[in-house]
Amino acid sequence: MNFRRYQNELIAGVSFLLMLGAFLFKQGEISGQEERARVLQDSVSELKEVISLKEIWGAKELGKKVKTLQSVVPSQKVKWQQKSKKVIASYQGLSVNELNSLMKKLLNLGVEIELFDVRKVSTYYNVELRCKW
């Protein structure tokens, strides 16, 4: 019969526990939604980056742009071999300025560099380059 005596206190206690449980559940759901939103935002930014890289690397005129590497330095210093979407180039006796202009052109192209070997011979540089796109 003591149950009837403390009935209101028990109802208030159970109500408080249910309210506390609902509050904790709500907070968990809110933090979960924030995390999902953050992951979604990261995915969207990665997708935008992939699309921009695909536009750069998948450009149809990239083959023509690669040929500019052949004309950066005088033709007697270049041995050029191109097979479909691959280039093997050898540059001999480049000055510092010629090497810098070659590097600038190469780094502004959307190509995959397979081999880039620079050797210094006295004051000149020999460069071997292999790239594809």
Q: Taking the CA atoms of 36, 42, 48 and 53 in sequence, report the sign of the dihedral they define.
A: negative
CA distance 40 to 121: 52
Main-chain dihedrals φ then ψ at residue 90, nearest 5 degrees: -130, 125
Q: Where are the domains of the chain?
A: 2-57, 62-132
pLDDT in tens, 73-129: 998 999 999 898 899 999 999 999 999 999 999 988 888 899 999 999 999 999 999
Under 8 Å between Cβ of 130 and 114 = yes
pLDDT in tens, 17-71: 999 999 999 999 999 999 999 999 999 999 999 998 887 777 777 878 888 888 8
Q: Left if phi > 0, otherwise alpha if psi is -120 to 50, otherwise beta: which for 31?
A: alpha
The pTM of this model reads 0.58
Which residues are bridge partners to 81 per DSSP? 88
CATH number of 62-132: 3.30.70.60
